[in-house]
Structure 1
């Protein structure tokens, strides 16, 4: 019989690597990092994923490892920061070697792709709860903030939006998807791609940015409040996958406007910089779509392709509102 894994065996076997950039990595009371250059600022963000609230109990561990880091890398992308290091704190119901092998593989494969180093964290027994803190660097004065939107800016979004909510609706029995659409949309929900390259390319071009995690309109509201501006969003201009285009307009708008978990970048930039923005996105190999503009008058206006005003009753995800719909 295989001996049960202890806390320090678990850390050593699945999460310890020789430090690369860190002065001191996993295994001591603290990690040690060299201070950033004088003209750089340190960007720090934390996100927690809780079983039953952010992911299903039967989630594939490798996909979950990917997503646990991806949602945090997305925060670095949103501010235009280059990934540097991260910590991982976990509560686990048991030290399951098979689960840990898959989870660590998904986590560290994505870390390698973005050259970000695991430098420490914590483990304990309890309901499954995964918390990552990421650190990145951004040159002084070039961080993409929520407070920078200006009247006349174009409003852009990367990739497509709504697929994660479409996949969630299938899992919850709200609608049924065929096998092809299940595969495509479930991958978008389970393995989001952080837009690091685009965030870096937009430094010095975009005025404001964030990542779409709780729903496009809800997240746009954060930019509008921080910048004291309004916006007009063209609902029918939102980029949609083939699976979303097959839905009725009302369901498509629900997924695209209120659905979370897309982790695409929503950003504003001067209308005069349109070609430069498109060139930056091309260098980052990331599709982008103009979906509206920033207004002087506060408030959010939603219009269709004919310019008709639509009712805006699309609420995003809220961790403390019982009607929110993630698992």
Structure 2
């Protein structure tokens, strides 16, 4: 298995001078750039389940990290995979082979090199994957959560709630999704990181993050980092086909970009729809405006320790 991983990763880009095959990778950033680094666990029974196609699991493991780099305005360059295999995965090479195919499919889309990692046997019945993604941004230009100011407009890319809606359908009829492909119509199984949009937002957005835990939670994170509040217009939220307002607010894993700016932004950036959904306010409360009424926005997104306590 390790040899297969190495064989499938024997390419490089201008950033990865030496990848898999030595004790460590050798990386070479461009002059005038800074590196951004993110790491994400993907836990079986938490982030994926037995009903998820393993091709999708590999794709989604990498998509989470690439989306984080996109939210910083960066270009993803290299990934590192450390995976502890459950007995089921270790004894069935097809699981791991399809997992790697999914990961490499997304990596190829963004010219990301799998430059290293580690493998082990899991001490329990569940597979655990940790993916590190490294990207680059122009020096001093990384998009942060902490720059929003009162009066800024709040925008979101794409649509919301589609991942939660598809997950619900997947749970009910997993056999219907066995042949699903990353063709832009499966927001849960194959989310599309908004790398091109993130790079366009450098110098435009005052703050930015991706929506991984649900906008009700992630908007609160952005406001806390910036020391501000927000007023969110429920009627402006761009709902995905088949999604409810509750799924759009609290569903999570949409991996769209949530950003603020004092400027008006076009309705499309890099071919992706962009929607204004509210304003940043001076007080620190996060409110939802619905049917002309304003109330505090309930925090309903995913929080690992809270959910598992």
Give the conservation status (yes or no) of the 8 Å contact 1:157–1:267: yes
What is the CA–CA distance in structure 2 between the aligned matches of 1:85 and 1:57, rounded to whole Å? 28
What is the CA–CA distance in structure 1 between the aligned matches of 2:91 and 2:119, rounded to whole Å? 10
How far did 1:9 drift?
Answer: 3.1
Does residue 278 of the first structure (1) align with residue 270 of the second (2)? no
What is the CA–CA distance in structure 2 between the aligned matches of 1:321 and 1:107, rounded to whole Å? 29
Render the CA deviation track for 1:293-318: whole Å, top value 9, x for unaligned. 001111111101x4311453342101
- The TM-score with structure 1 as length reference comes to 0.84
What is the CA–CA distance in structure 2 between the aligned matches of 1:202 and 1:106, rounded to whole Å? 28
* Structure (1 or 2) with the greater helix fraction: 1
| Counterpart residue number, 1:318 | 303
How far did 1:186 drift?
Answer: 8.3
How far did 1:135 drift?
Answer: 0.6
| Counterpart selection for 2:104 from 105, 108, 115 | 108
- The TM-score with structure 2 as length reference comes to 0.89
Matches for 1:79-118 after TM superposition, within 5 Å: 79-93=72-86, 94=90, 96-118=92-114
Does residue 205 of the first structure (1) align with residue 223 of the second (2)? no
Structure 1: runs of 5 or more not aligned = 245-251
Moved over 4 A (4+): 183-186
| Counterpart residue number, 1:216 | 215
Rate the CA distance shift 1:224–1:321 in 2: closer, same or farther, 3 A.
same
Name the Cα RMSD after superposition.
2.4
What is the CA–CA distance in structure 1 between the aligned matches of 2:189 and 2:6, rounded to whole Å? 27
What is the CA–CA distance in structure 2 between the aligned matches of 1:36 and 1:10, rounded to whole Å? 30
How far did 1:29 drift?
Answer: 1.2
Rate the CA distance shift 1:57–1:80 in 2: closer, same or farther, 3 A.
same
* Structure (1 or 2) with the greater strand fraction: 2
Stretch moving more, 184-193 or 208-217: 184-193
How far did 1:10 drift?
Answer: 4.4
Structure 2: runs of 5 or more not aligned = none
What is the CA–CA distance in structure 2 between the aligned matches of 1:12 and 1:77, rounded to whole Å? 27
Aligned residues: 297
Stretch moving more, 104-113 or 66-75: 104-113
How far did 1:241 drift?
Answer: 2.2
